[in-house]
Structures are given as C-alpha cells and as structure tokens.
Amino acid sequence: MRDLGWFYDVTVATEPAEQGARLVVTVVENPVIHDIVFEGNTVFTADQLRAVMASKPGEIANNRTIIRDLQAIVGKYNSAGYIFAQVSDVTTDAKTGNLIIALLEGNVEEIRVIGNRKTKPYVIKREIRTKPGQVLNAERLRRDLDRLINLEIFQDVSSQPTVGSAPGLVVVPINVVEKKTGLAAAGVGYSSVQKLVGFVDLAESNLRGTGQKLTLRTEFGGRKSYELGYFTPWIASPEVSMRVGLYNRLILREAVTSTTAFLYDEKRTGGNVTLSRPIGNSETTRIFATLRADSVSVQQAENQLLPEIIALQRAEDVRSFAFNLRNDTRNIIANPTRGGLNSASVEFAGWLGGARFNKLGLDLRRYIRAGGKRIFATRLLLGLTTGTPPFLEQFLVGGGETLRGYRNDRFPGKRMALLNTELRIPFQQNLAGVLFVDVGDAWAGAFARDLGDTGFKAHVGYGIGVRLVTPIGPIRIDYGIGSEGQETHFSVGHAF
C-alpha cells in the first residue's frame, strides 16, 4: 500500500476475533495539495515548472507522482543546458498545505583560467559570457570555448566544471593550450624580368599576450612592396575591435580576353581602418565601419598595346567608407561544422574625391552535418556596383576563391551572382577530402564587353579537393573542371 504513493503512513496490526484474528490496517492519507511553491528558481518561472508536473493543486499528493515530477523538473533544466540543477528538498507545509520544492540551479562560484603562460588572464575572461553568480549553462559555455578558439591563439580549449565549495555552486575551469603565435620567414628568387627578388614576412598573433595581431611583409629587389597590418579585438567596451592596414603592394594577376590571356601587376597604395562592435547585447551580430583610401593602378602588363590593357592601366584614387552588418553563428570560424553567416555590406566611394561608385554585397553561408563527421557547406554571393568603378574595384569571378575550374579573375563585371557548394569529408584529424560544385558569373560594365560577359551566364565548375592541416596553417588544393578546361588551385584555409 505504501507503494501506491497515496499514504503518508501505513500501520498493520492484529486484534482478536471470534474465529481467530482480525487484520487492522491504519492509513494516514497524504494531504491535499493547496498550491505548489518553488524556492531558488531563477531560470524558469513557477508556472513553467508546474507545467511539466502531473501533480496539481486540489489533488491528494501522491509520492510516486511527485518523484516523477521532480525528475521532469530536473530534465527540463538539463534539456535547456542547465546541467548542474538539482532538487535539494521537498516538504509539505502543514499549515498551508503547500507543496514546497527547493531547487539548486548550479550557480557559478568561480572561473579559473589554467594553462596560459603568455596570454593575459583578462584576454581570456573577457571572451567568456559565463560569469560568477550566473546559473551555469552548458550551451553558453560551449559558445565561450568557441570564441576562445576563434582568437586563433590557442591550440585547444576545454572545460570540465566541478562542484564548488557548497551545494549548488560550480567551479568552471578554462583549460587552454597556447599556440606558437610568432612567424618569421624570408626568401629570395630570380627571374629574367625582375632579376633578384627577396621577401621578409613577420607576424605575431598574440602580441605581448594581449590577443593583438601585428603583421609585416616586404619585398625588395626587382619587386618592391610592403604591407603592415594591426588588429586589436578590444579597444573599448563593449567589445569594440579595430583593424588597421597600410600598404604599398604589388599583386600578380591575370586577365583573359576571348583570344588571349595576359599577366599584370596590381599596384595598390594606401590604407584602411575598420571599427566593429556588437549590436546591443548580441553575441552573434556585429556592425563594421571601414574608411579606405587607395591609389590603384596596373603595372608591368604583358601585351601592353592591346586596347583592353590600355583601359586597364588607368590609375585612379579610391576614397570610400563602407558599412557591414554581420550575423555570425559559426562555431569555429576557420573550420565551421555548424551555424552560418549572414552578411550585408554597402560601400560608398567618391564622396571624398577619386573614383565615384557604390557597391552592394550579400554573403550567405550555411554549414550542416551530412552524416557522421561530414559537413555540407554552401555559400551564396550577390553583388551590385553602380557608377564607374576602376577595373580592380568591380567584381572578379574565377579561381580558387570564387569559381573553381576557371582561371583567376576570368569574369569581371559590375554585377555578380555565385553559388558554392562543398561536401567536406574528414579522413583523419589533419586530412580531409572535398567534393565541390560552383555556379556563377560576374557580368555587365565597360570591361565585361572585352574581358567577360555582358549578361549573366551560369558558368559551372566542379571537382575534388584536399584539405591538409600543417604547422604553417591549413593547405587547400582543388582540382576543378569548367567549360574552358581544367585548373588546379592552391591556397590556404577554406574558401568559405
């Protein structure tokens, strides 16, 4: 009878009877529940917790039902990520008839940073949204660890929360394994055109342990250029970041006409400053503002007398300001396995002098599990330019970063539409294969008449690729087949 759950007490006794003995069972019923009251709940309201219970006010309390109710309450907390929540006590108030359920939700007592030798503790803690006093949530903590990985200064980040100094308290250790963040490289080469050419690369992605990045690249000899970059993730609260670039660089490019292809150097001199900050209290949405001043020209082009080349070589200044609104739910930016990116941008050039044009862009990406560890990744790029942009400020589609299976910058234009799809198949921890299909084009504008398409054409490229993680970074090799032949593309990191 006790197992029925309806009785507070059950006693069994015997008493003499005419033909033997009488069995007497005395029961004390559980009280009627007047109300269900919760103590210690901050995550869910009392109504939300009552909704998962079978016990109701006005009914006789049933011990078995109450046990299932307590399991349902803890299950509700756990399914929402509150993995340390527990019921600490259950009582019935004899005066009021209230069923009182006391909860310990698992509040963070302390966050301990472990393993950082170079990185300052505040650099780590400012990325962690989980704070002492909050109820620990496993999903929020996972996002905190992803943010630390996205700083690109840690090889590994992990956490195994433990019970704190008292019931209901949790200690959260943040274990980090730091990367080697300094890079120095140098080399020399020789060609009959440029003679002796040398380069020096210097980079530090965790400057003095602050998470700031500093890069310097210079070329000398027959080819002279330099690039200086600086990034700080936090120059002001809340989470205002800044990126600065100064450059006088040469980039070897290729242009293709209907009858020939030729190489040229893009010379770009100038600088830019970008500031970004979150929108409100959002963890995933940021706005970026960029001010840019460039001088753009084409130098040392082959086939100098071609009419297309003469048009290309017109030097122009570009002074612009741009805004970008970005919602980024990717877990690991360098190698996403879930989430996506929604990015809308607008750039205005010419208001401060120089070439006059406006540029609109949309970048949509998704990353979806496709069984096991396989990832289906897709990207949609849309772009529109108005005004008269220089050749190198319009959209350039073709090559390993956009439309694989075609030569670099094969299709120039003032409009762009591009869809990339990949199936990423891990073989080992540092090795993965890729199947891809790309469809798209850039078209319209003065340069498209000679070098590309005047109207949209759905150019298709497809093929296979390999992704290899190395000490100097992830290497990407793609073999693509397009309507004009085959191309092998070498680069670093995922295209998207």
211-231 mean pLDDT: 89
66-84 mean pLDDT: 94
Label residue 470 by pLDDT band (50, 70, 90): confident
Q: Are 143 and 157 in contact (CB under 8 A)?
A: no
The residue behind tokens 């090889």 is: 155
397-416 mean pLDDT: 94
Interatomic CA distance for residues 241 and 440, integer angstroms: 34
48-61 mean pLDDT: 89
User: What is the dotted CATH code of the domain comprising 107-178?
Assistant: 3.10.20.310
Q: Tell whether domain 224-492 is in CATH 3.40.1350.10.
A: no
Q: How many CB atoms lie within 10 A of CB 55?
A: 18
Q: Tell whether domain 31-104 is in CATH 1.10.3330.10.
A: no
Label residue 304 by pLDDT band (50, 70, 90): low
Label residue 191 by pLDDT band (50, 70, 90): low
464-479 mean pLDDT: 87
Strand residue runs (E) in 329-414: 339-369, 375-387, 395-397, 411-413
The pLDDT mean for the chain works out to 89
381-387 mean pLDDT: 96
Mean pLDDT comparison of 60-74, 240-254, 356-370, highest-scoring range: 356-370
198-213 mean pLDDT: 92
Q: Which residue has the higher pLDDT, 104 or 265?
A: 104
Q: Domain segments of the chain: what residues?
A: 1-25, 31-104, 107-178, 224-492
Answer whether residue 434 shows pLDDT above 60: yes
What whole-number percentage of the chain has pLDDT above 90?
A: 65
Answer whether residue 162 shows pLDDT above 60: yes
What global pTM score does this model have?
Answer: 0.85
Label residue 134 by pLDDT band (50, 70, 90): very high
Q: Which residues sit opposite 49 in a β-bridge?
A: none
Answer whether residue 21 shows pLDDT above 70: yes
Answer whether residue 301 shows pLDDT above 60: no
Task: Decide whether 31-104 matches 224-492 in CATH topology.
Answer: no
Write the CB contacts of 69 (distance below 8 Å, at least 6 apart in sequence): 52, 53, 54, 55
Q: Which residues sit opposite 289 in a β-bridge?
A: 275, 323
Q: Which residue has the higher pLDDT, 471 or 72?
A: 72
Answer whether residue 88 shows pLDDT above 60: yes
Q: What pLDDT is stored for residue 310 in this prediction?
A: 63
Instruction: Convert the pLDDT of each residue in 149-159 to its tens digit.
Output: 999 999 999 99
Label residue 199 by pLDDT band (50, 70, 90): confident
